[in-house]
Structure formats: C-alpha cells, structure tokens
Amino acid sequence: MTAQFAHADVPADLARRLTGRPADHGVDGSAWLDQLPGLVNQQTAAWELTITGAPMNGHNALVLPVERHGDHHILKLSWPHLEADFEHIGLRHWDGNGIVKLIAADPGHHALLLESLDVGHDLRAVEVERACGVIGGLLGRLHIAAPANVPAFGDIVGEWLAPLRDYPATVPRRYVDQALEVFDQLEFTPRLLHLDLHYDNVLRSEREPWLAIDPKPVSGPPGFDIYPAVRNRVEEYSTGQQMRWQVQRRVEIVADAAGIDLDHARDWTLVHAVLNAHEEAENGQPALVTWHLAIVKVLAEAW
C-alpha cells in the first residue's frame, strides 16, 4: 500500500462519528477530518513509516499498520480531545507493563507510534468470566503510582458529577445519593487508572498473551476501573436473579484478579454506573439507560 494517504482512505465509520462534532479544545471533527490526510503523510514522513495495510479506527482515532526499518508498528492519530491529551503520558509511565508499548509520540499532533498487536483477536470472543479474569490481571499491573502530570480523579469526576447534585430526572435520587456519598466521603489511595478497559480494548500480542490498549489515564481509585467490564457484553446477561448473580460475579472476578477490596470495588463501580446512566440519558439513549440502571440496582444492594 502506498505511503500516501488520501481523503478517500478515511474509514467511513470514523467520518460518520466525527463529522459535525463540536470542538473539544482543538478543531472540530469535520475540520480534523479535512486535515487528516496531511497529518498522516506528515507523520509517516517524520517517522520514516510505510503504510502496510488498510486503515482502521476507534471512536475518535485513525489507526494504521505501518513498517519502519523492517519492524511492524501501529500509527494512531487521534482527534484532539481531553482524553487523548494524556494517553502518551500514561503509556510512557507504564512502559509496556500490561499494555501496548509506546515507541514514539508527537503530542502536538496527537500522534502515537505503538507496538503492533493482533487487532483481529480481542477478549470479546473469550468466555466472559475468563475474560474478566484477564482484565482484572491487567488492571492489577496497571494500577501503579500515577505521574503528577495526569488529571486528578477528583477534578475530572467531580465535574461529571456536578449535574447530578441538582437531582435531574435521569437517575433515581436514591442512587444519586449513594454515588455522591461514595465520591464525597470514601478515601482511597490514588493509582494510575485506564478508565476504559473493556473487552475490545484487550488484544493478543507476540510479547504477551494479552495487552491493554487505548487508555484514558487518570489518577484515582482502583475500583472505578472495573465498570467497563460490567457495562459491556450486556447482551450476555440474563434477567432477574440470574442477572444479579452475573453482575456480582463480574465485579468479584475483576476485583479479585486486580487485588481490589470488594467493598471498594462495588462502591466505585456504582459511581461509574450512575455517571454512565446520566450520560446516556443526556445523549438520548433510553435503552442504554435501562441497562445501566439495572446494573446500578444490583450494585446498590449489598451482597
């Protein structure tokens, strides 16, 4: 494949996600898509890369398989937004321990050169309890002391929780009260969090059986990192008491493998679930709100 990247090469799904997206703290989504071919060609030239395969994408980033001096890597270019600002800092701090290794970074262009992983094999195809064990094991390695230059959990999540303090109709008040009580009163030793370690964000590699990708580094309570494993693959939940057991089981498996106290895990997973329920309500996604609230109900009850 030629090293020259053109507008026609932008994945349709990425274009759909970002077209019309308001700017976060850089350019808006449409403007960034217009700039993307130039950014790709600039970065491949600067890092002496050859594009070797078809472009892929996440929610807010272009991902390209590339080669440099005979070695295979991944080039990731992210649309400028807050979560992408600190990815290179977290990756450099983890230095490949349980997560994809950072080869080079150009923070000004939100460009990362990463080790090559097997993008065709993630944890979604793995039986869910075994997959939760893998996620927990990775979190246990990722939860190290955080560098000073990543966002503080209190600032980030405090801002997310602020609209809930006025008790909007999006989440039942009793659950909001529980989430606010945890956030306002529960003490914790801050660790470096991934924030989005779900089944699609764990890939096979040659270096290790499984490695995490796509972190949103924050310094915060380890238990807050569990919910992505609970809120994904919801189609595999049953109903009633069986669902209650399944939610509890996922939390327990991840917490145990990560070395997180179960009460701490349940409390902070509740906070995360309440936040997600409110967010999806604001986004006009009632089906997702129903799922989050069903999980919140389980978490709100002691077991």
Active site residue 196: yes
- In a 13 Å sphere around the CA of 258, the CA atoms on its Cβ side amount to 32
Alpha-carbon separation of residue 282 from 28, 43, 129, 207, 264 (angstroms):
21, 37, 31, 41, 28
Which of 85, 122, 196, 225 is the catalytic position?
A: 196
- Location of structure tokens 């008491």: 241
Known catalytic residues? Answer: 196
